[in-house]
Amino acid sequence: MQLTSASSLPLRSQPAVPATEEPSKALYFALNAAAPDASGLARAADYLETRLDAAASLPCDLPDDPAALADWAMAHTAEVGRQYQAYLEARRAGAPRRYFGSRAHALHFLQGVAPTKLVDGAWLYGLLQRWDDPRFGGLIQTYLEELGEGIPEKNHVVLYRRLLAAHGCEDWQSLDDEHFVQGAVQLALAHQAERFLPELIGYNLGYEQLPLHLLISSYELTELGIDPYYFTLHVTVDNADTGHAKKAVQALEAAWPQVGDRAEFYRRVKAGYRLNELGASTLSVIAGFDPEQEVLRVLERKRAVGRFVHSDYIRFAGRTVNQWLADPALLPEFLATLEQRGWIRRHRDPQESRFWQLIQGEQAEMFGVFSAHEQQLIHDWIAGDWAPAPEADGAALRGAPLPQRPSAFQGRRRLLDNRGRRAPTTAERLPRPQSDFDAELRQFERELAALPTRPEKMRRLLPLLSPADHHTPLGLMATRIFTRLLY
């Protein structure tokens, strides 16, 4: 599908969801725990059943003959590559960015997909209990690679957490329910692998195929000064030649039943594949960006406190600021009034707007009220159609980043620095001398060393590789040890 602009991005048509179905958001937080209780596990199974029913009517492009899957995956990659080259040619010819109209738009996207990215790879967690079954070796390797094999700089969730923190996008918990569907599906599969194994394999087959939006997002994030490393990492590890896309096909072949109803097994694989189409997608999150509505949402969040703290000596249209903020229904009119009074000068340099001067700058009276993400959103909404004068090299960006503290998340430099570097040992990673900061890690090392057999050690490690824990210091260490014991 050829897309021309963010405004023309298609929204995925979603099947009707029964009104009695449990909200995805509630289940997401219930399952994203180290050890969900029996009630949570039962809810996970029910959730998958209802979601599989909801997805049953969606199209599926998997070949009818499973033997054709390898060719199907290569053909998919080739088509994505062809479309991406067409995109690049259009950009070289002067076409605008396809996805992100501004830096604020890109940050909206990063936050909107956070519930999914923060459980990246979770659907494979339930297979770790079968670490000694060669049929699942490829899928387990994929999961460990999603975890960076315990190296923080390669752990996908660690990377995304850092990306969100670098741009003030950490307030994702208040997103609408649709944003949590994919994450809830992944967590439900993680904790119900025994009951939904073919569906899990099918979901993995779909998720690990290289999507066009990944390539375009990486390109446009780079243009906007946002480190794309999390996304470019997936471009490389998901490749159809040696990466996760190929392993996904091989995993199906390895798990293919030797006896029983093979047609039913493949039907269930296809059903799991369709689960990828549920909930908010990359494209729907991008297409759903409305700058003014997002600014109003920001003001709505701030007004709970702001309606009590402003002085009464400034009035707009007869109301004090506190009175404007007292009623959320007044916020659109408040913005319009600020614009009419010249406090906000749309489609001009935001520095000319008094409202912006209150927000950003060394002497800003509202310093600290808005996060970096919120500031960027307000800045780009005020700027609108305005763009800074081109620099000497003509490379000025619309929606350029605002002044912020330097980010430690420097993907390109990190990639160069890490080439040829061996993974540090556990001892090298722990601070010296011993301190309270590493006491938990050392205690766990002692507990693990006391276990006499490899299976006992593996069982002890498993909970720490869960979606809720693998990105923590203890989880990262457990992942490194698990990987070493496995291979």
Q: Of the given ranges (61-70, 284-293, 411-420, 424-433), which has the lowest mean pLDDT?
A: 411-420
- The number of helix segments (H) and strand segments (E) in the chain equals 24, 2
Indicate whether 174 pLDDT > 50.
yes
User: Which pLDDT score is estimated for 411?
Assistant: 44
Q: What residues does 320 pair with on adjacent strands? A: 315
Closest Cα to residue 205, out of 60, 83, 79, 78?
Answer: 60
Strands in 174-297 per DSSP E = none
C-alpha pair distances (Å), 16 with each of 31, 285, 334: 24, 19, 37
Q: What angle do CA 401, 97, 1 make, to 5 degrees?
A: 140
Q: What is the mean pLDDT of the chain?
A: 87
User: Which pLDDT score is estimated for 361?
Assistant: 72
Q: Is 113 helix (H, G, I), strand (E, B) or coil?
A: coil
Average pLDDT over every residue of 123-146: 96
pLDDT class of 367 with cuts at 50, 70, 90: confident
Q: Is 316 helix (H, G, I), strand (E, B) or coil?
A: strand
CB 269 within 8 A of CB 252: yes
**The pTM is what?**
0.87
Residue bearing tokens 């004090």: 320
Residues in CB range of 119: below 8 A, 6 or more apart: 28, 32, 157, 183, 186, 187, 467
Q: What is the pLDDT of residues 285-295, one digit of tens each?
A: 999 999 999 99
Indicate whether 105 pLDDT > 80.
yes
Indicate whether 419 pLDDT > 70.
no
Q: Of the given ranges (19-28, 190-199, 251-260, 359-368), which has the lowest mean pLDDT?
A: 359-368
Q: Is 319 helix (H, G, I), strand (E, B) or coil?
A: strand
User: Which pLDDT score is estimated for 59?
Assistant: 94
Q: Which residue has the higher pLDDT, 320 or 426?
A: 320
Q: What is the pLDDT of residues 1-49, one digit of tens each?
A: 233 334 344 445 455 455 457 899 999 999 998 789 999 999 999 999 9
User: Which pLDDT score is estimated for 51?
Assistant: 97
Residues in CB range of 38: below 8 A, 6 or more apart: none
Give the chain's domains with CATH numbers.
21-287 (1.20.910), 291-383 (no CATH), 426-486 (no CATH)
Average pLDDT over every residue of 50-56: 97
User: Which pLDDT score is estimated for 483?
Assistant: 97
Q: Are strands 319-320 and 315-316 parallel, antiparallel or unpaired?
A: antiparallel
Indicate whether 242 pLDDT > 70.
no
Q: Which residue has the higher pLDDT, 223 or 363?
A: 223
pLDDT class of 345 with cuts at 50, 70, 90: very high
User: Which pLDDT score is estimated for 394?
Assistant: 37
Exposed/middle/buried for residue 91 (C-beta within 10 Å: 0-12, 13-18, 19+) = middle
Average pLDDT over every residue of 82-97: 97
User: Which pLDDT score is estimated for 365?
Assistant: 79
Indicate whether 214 pLDDT > 90.
yes
CB 126 within 8 A of CB 192: yes
CB 486 within 8 A of CB 51: no
User: Which pLDDT score is estimated for 311?
Assistant: 57
Q: What is the pLDDT of residues 67-84, one digit of tens each?
A: 999 999 999 999 999 999
User: Which pLDDT score is estimated for 158?
Assistant: 97
Number of residues written out for the chain: 487
Closest Cα to residue 182, out of 113, 253, 107?
Answer: 113
Respond yes or no on whether the N-terminal peptide bond of residue 18 is cis (omega within 30° of 0): no
Q: What is the dihedral of CA 313, 318, 319, 320, to 10 degrees?
A: 0
Amino acid at 150: G
Q: What is the pLDDT of residues 439-463, one digit of tens each?
A: 899 999 999 999 999 999 999 999 9
Residues in CB range of 352: below 8 A, 6 or more apart: 345
Task: Report the distance separating Cα 403 and Cα 66, nearest Å.
Answer: 53
